[in-house]
Structure 1
Amino acid sequence: MRVVFMGTPEFAVPSLQAIVKSGHEVVLVVTQPDKPAGRGLKLKPPPVKVIAQQMGLPVFQPEKLNVPESLQVIANAKPDVLVVVAYGRILKEECLAIPPKGCINVHPSLLPKYRGPSPIQHAILNGDEVTGVTTMFMDAGMDTGDIILQQEVPIDPEDTAGTLSEKLAMVAADLLVETLKLIEEGRAPRIPQDHSKATYAPFLPPEIAHLKFDQPAKHLRNLIRALNPDPGAFAFFRGKRVKFWRAEVVDGQPTEQPGTIVALDKNRLLIATGEGLLMPTELQTEGKKSLPVSEWLKGTQPQVGERFS
């Protein structure tokens, strides 16, 4: 089949590679424009653009998608099907109507759970043990279309948003190839979602990254996992921002004020929380590199009774 592929971040790269490998003709890759990055604010291409150019595929980066000029470029590619994997913008009905076999979305959750832009982070934040990938026919709503295929993926207790995203990206690629095969053969199911069971996963607000130690240690640990690698959960210590990249929970009923260091040795640091103790295992003081807690302790030399705020 002739495929227009729409995607932007690293998560979408395995899906694009899998489509090409499976023998479908990718007639156009649509991705978001290059964006300034780094201290020099040099324009950086999105990962999908980089891999598409390496494979010799035509790339289109419209500033605005749902305008006649952009839609005409897509229509001129004459796709049989349009595939969306983390493109980052909403497709309006005019775009959805272009391919005769429909528009397919790959979503990293078991819909109707976690509709929206941040399903991976919310699954970890909520302490879920299982998530998955859904392929669906797109409609005008946000992740509301009929389901084609789903596959469960277990969430390891040590998974971060980064590691879970990598796992789901590989599952998504395989599920997408299977989905396209069913569409090509005219055998793709259309399973309506139960909208009464829908939950939503909006973007996490920036302020959530500032750890509030009056919350339970278990919640703080999940938050740290959900914000790794971007943007990273943090607190302040001796006036400097310290990012918490990994942490464990230790049972206990601290009487000290939340955020207080209640115990430490050369390899361990325990922080009082609203419920239980938080034991960070990887920390990064601003301006320095990320360190195992043993190295951070050696360089910082905190004292029992000092507080993270």
Structure 2
Amino acid sequence: MRIVFAGTPDPAVPSLRRLLDSRHEVAAVVTRPDAAAGRGRSVRRSPVGQLADEHGIPVLTPHKPAEPEFVAALRDLAPDCCPVVAYGALLPPEILEIPAHGWINLHFSLLPAWRGAAPVQAAIAAGDEITGASTFRIEKGLDTGPVFGVVTERIGVTDTAGELLTRLADSGAALLEQTLDGVEDGTLQAIPQPADGVSYAPKITVDAARVRWDQPALAVGRAIRAVTPFPGAWTTVAGTRLKLGPVELVEEALPEGQLDVRKSGVLVGTATTAVRLGQVQPQGKRAMAAVDWARGARPASGTVAE
């Protein structure tokens, strides 16, 4: 098939790379406009756009997919199908109708569970043991379209969102290629999602990534892993923001949020037992082991993280 691929961040790259090596013709790529990134805030092409540039594939970067110029350009490209992976913008009805086989989205959950922007993060935070990826035909509703296929993935007890998403991006890329093959061959039909089991995973804001020490230790650990590496869990100690990496659960109990600094590590109390901090990153500084941070910051005895 002649396809136009839509995607933006790193998790979409394995799918584009796989489709470039497939039997399908990638006529163009649609991605979000170049944006400032990194510490220097220099303007950069998206990871998907960079890969397209390397292969000499035309790149379209509309600010909004409803722009008349983009709609006209897409019609001129005359795609048979438009696969989508983490594009990052809502697709208006006028462009959903352009490709004969529609827009097929690779979503990183087992639909109808965790519809929305942050399915991997939600699955980890909820303590799910199994997740996966689904391909489905995009329609007007939020991730409500009929499903073509799924792959499953076990969530490890130490998995961060970044680690899990990396695995799903690879297995999902294979699923997406198989889906396009089946659609072209006429051997694959989409099945409506069941009405039961619907859950939602909204975008995680920086404020939402703040650690709540009044939660049980298990929930605290999951919440931190769910936002690692982005946007990153954080707390404040003596008025200073401290970014937190994954923590280790321990058997001792401490008051909620209270720090206990030892040579063996830094413990923080939760609603149940304490957790031992791993890597931390003070605002404006590099990441370091929690014991090294405490050696320099010297938090007072009884200091409470908030």
Question: What TM-score range do you get, normalising by the shorter chain?
Answer: over 0.9
Partner-residue secondary structure (3-state), 2:123: helix
Deviations 1:159-207 (A, max 9, x none): 1111111111001111011111111110112211012321111112332
Alignment-derived partner of residue 265 in structure 1: 262
Offset of residue 302 of structure 1: 4.0
Aligned to 2:215: 215
Following superposition, the deviation at residue 112 of structure 1 comes to 0.3
- Structure 1 match to 2:80: 80
Matched residue of 1:195: which SS? coil
**Partners of 2:188 and 2:245 in 1: CA distance:** 42
In the alignment, structure 1 residue 277 sits paired with structure 2 residue 283: no
* 3-state SS of 2:245 partner: strand
**TM-score, L = length of structure 2:** 0.95
Q: Is the 8 A contact 1:267 1:297 kept in 2?
A: no
Mean CA deviation greater in 52-61 or 203-212: 203-212
In structure 1, C-alpha distance between the alignment counterparts of 2:14 and 2:206, rounded to whole Å:
29
Runs (5+) with no aligned partner, structure 2: none
Q: Residue 2 of structure 2 corresponds to which residue in structure 1?
A: 2
Give yes or no for contact 2:204–2:231 (8 Å, CA) kept in 1.
no
TM-superposed deviation, 1:111:
0.1
Where does 1:83-162 land on structure 2 (aligned, <5 Å)?
83-162=83-162
Shift, 1:303, TM fit: 5.1
Cα distance in 1 for residues equivalent to 2:102 and 2:226: 33
Instruction: Note if 1:198 corresponds to 2:193.
Output: no
SS class of match (2:18): helix
1:183 aligns with 2:180: no
Residue 289 of structure 2: aligned partner: 292
Stretches of 4+ aligned residues off by more than 6 angstroms: none
TM-score by length of 1: 0.94
Gaps of 5+ in 1: none
Which residue does the alignment assign to 2:60? 60
Task: Measure the CA separation in 2 of the matches of 1:39 and 1:152.
Answer: 36
Structure 2 CA distance for aligned equivalents of residues 101 and 37 of structure 1: 35
Paired residues of 1:4 and 1:26 also in contact (CA < 8 A): yes
